[in-house]
Amino acid sequence: MKKSNLIMALMVLLGLSSCQENKTSENAMSEQTNILLQDFDTPYGVPPFEQIKTSDYEPAYAVATAELRAEVKAIIENTEEPSFENTIVALERSGSTLEKVDGVFGNLLSCNTNEDMEALAQKITPLVTGVYDEISMNDDLFKKVKFVYENADQSNMTQEQKTLLKETYKGFERGGANLNDEDKAKLKKINKELGILSLNFGSNVLKETNGFKIVISDKARLSGLPQGVINAAAITAKNNGEEGKWMFTVQKSSMIPVLSYADDRELRKEIYKGYTTRGDHNDSLDNKENVKKLVNLRLEKAHLMGYENWAHFILENNMAKTPEKAYELMSNVATKAIARAKEELVDLQKYADNEKAGISIEPWDWWYYTEKLRMEKYNLSEEELKPYFKLESVRDGMFAVASKLYGLEFKLNAELPKMDPLAEAYEVYRNGELISILYMDYYPRASKRVGAWMTSYRKQQRNADGTNVIPVVSLTTNFTPPTDNAPALLNLDEVTTLYHEFGHGLHGMLSNCTYQSLSGTAVSRDFVELPSQIMENWALQPEVLKTYAKHYQTGEVMPDELIAKMQKAGTFNNGFTVSEFVAAAVLDMAWHKIETPFTGDVNEFEANTMKELGLIKEIAVRYRSTYYSHVFSGGYAAGYYAYLWTAVLDADAFGAFQETSLFDEATAKSFYENILSKGGTDDVEIMWKKFRGREPNIEFYLKRQGLE
């Protein structure tokens, strides 16, 4: 009888017709052999990547969602008076199988996808969204949660328990529990549509990125490009069936060198246009309609929930609290950055005029003349630095920083299953105790989306018996791979990117919480970037550079004069860098503070927003709307400002080390105890004040950026 009920549940959940009943039975019968539904028989319980088949996911999701429903049903039908343990903790502990399955599928969808996975995501997303909507809008369950929230004796509760209670109740409220039945039905429909649209947006961006290639057969067009870049382009061409030629893509590891060094202006323009027009070709991969639908559905959801727009709905839960507070910061910084960028433009145009280039600077010229001007002013080139930034050396130096700050040890384990043969897996120890598994997945591939990110296949938590469950953390980047002639060499931006994602990784690995929903990076968007951005500060400190920046051929430590030049040029071009970033943050917020449905032209809206901001035409917004994945297929809608908000926090937090010493033991201990280990177990404002003793001070950020 029990097996029969499970089969019926599977049919309902997957929407299968009667003609598929035999196949469904086979899926249910194979539950015992589905690797995703078993305890992973691997060291430390990491995912057995090589054993997982695409066909495993759909039946695994069906079983996992049925299991979650049954667990929630048991909570609702419990006849005992609702309590923190039998309601709040029971909810927290439910859905473990779904979390495991979703942790594998969701992460591999980003770093190892294919057409079958993407098609499957279209089916799974509404399934999972629907289940969570059912739970968050269940009246009987909410009554129990509300009873506990209003009657619990918090005097005997830990801070983490108080936070779990508050966040659980708030999660139901924000999930629609207080809506009437008609509005609940509307919200479920909206959530389902939002999930599918986000998937479509991201899929289009990936296909557009993979589809753009420039093939060059005339070597003269490579003038100005460093030999390492040329070698990498030759390998890319060979791997794509164009042996004897050179191929460039809009992966940043390929595009940025072209924009920075290619003398061929048309080549620079072509790759720039290829990057900045993704999703904007009025074809099957065009994202403009997806943008309009997403912002309008988010607005509709905000109105249903009683908010004037999506920005107010989101920021209520953030450290900033209101869009007005976020705008105040963005406006302050934008005014200073754009003014500096205008000064930089004058210098670039003067340089081009002196070269008798006969041009007016355009966006595809900015990087090129910036590099020339950098050489003239500081005698410093990115290519001069790259030989000292061998990927493995940067990684080891980064590990050494974490060791000095937090007592960590990293041991490579080549036997662990991996998501890609070129990825690395490490056991991470603190004071001799294993605290995490860390994956490092460095290089681009067609199955991986662009960018860099940290994620978890399993979050840290404690089981009901108090035993610690170590997290399985993964850092994903898209760095230029090694060639036949050289190892993987990073540019400055890639060095800081690796440190940035590692900072997120530390937040996940050093978590010391009881409940997984509060552990690791489970904090507000405008606080979650603090651990990542503060780590960037150590990357280029002279004391740290001396430990890892060694020439990959000679082993020579980076000379003092080169370090000095790099430090001197530290704020060079920051007007451009900060302006393009703030422009993206403002564009995100502009889309999500609309209060009536948007029916206009996406590109016109974007252009008008940039005009109002005062962004000069020679600088493009970092992410145009049609490929703004952070906002339209990620979790940063009305939240991209968070990078700026936390830049203020990280500059101030690093100031605490500058006031003492780079590896001050007491300061590092305080940052670990009050920030890194706490997850979201307390209000972020309280966590910050416990560390710094006061409100954040923007002056540290402005000084660091040279914008005072």
The residues assigned a catalytic role are: 501
Phi and psi at 426, nearest 5°, equal -125, 145
Q: Residue type for 702, please?
A: L
Residues in CB range of 563: below 8 A, 6 or more apart: 542, 545, 549
**Cα angle, residue 173 at apex, residues 169 and 176 outer, rounded to 5°:** 140
Closest CA to 125 of 64, 61, 201, 203: 61
- Give the residue carrying structure tokens 């177990």: 681
Per DSSP, 20 falls in state G
Q: Collapsing DSSP states into helix, strand and coil, what is residue 13? A: helix
The whole-angstrom separation of Cα 235 and Cα 342 is 39
The token pair that represents 168 in the structure block:
């659980």
- Sign of the Cα torsion 652, 654, 655, 660 reads positive
DSSP symbols for 50-75: GG--HHHHHHHHHHHHHHHHHHHHHH
Q: How many CB atoms lie within 10 A of CB 245?
A: 17
Q: How many CB atoms lie within 10 A of CB 414?
A: 7
DSSP symbols for 186-229: HHHHHHHHHHHHHHHHHHHHHHHHHH-EEEE--GGGGTT--HHH
Per DSSP, 559 falls in state P
By the 8 A CB rule, do 261 and 368 touch?
yes
HSE toward the beta carbon, residue 426, CA cutoff 13 A: 21
The whole-angstrom separation of Cα 239 and Cα 231 is 12
The whole-angstrom separation of Cα 486 and Cα 392 is 12
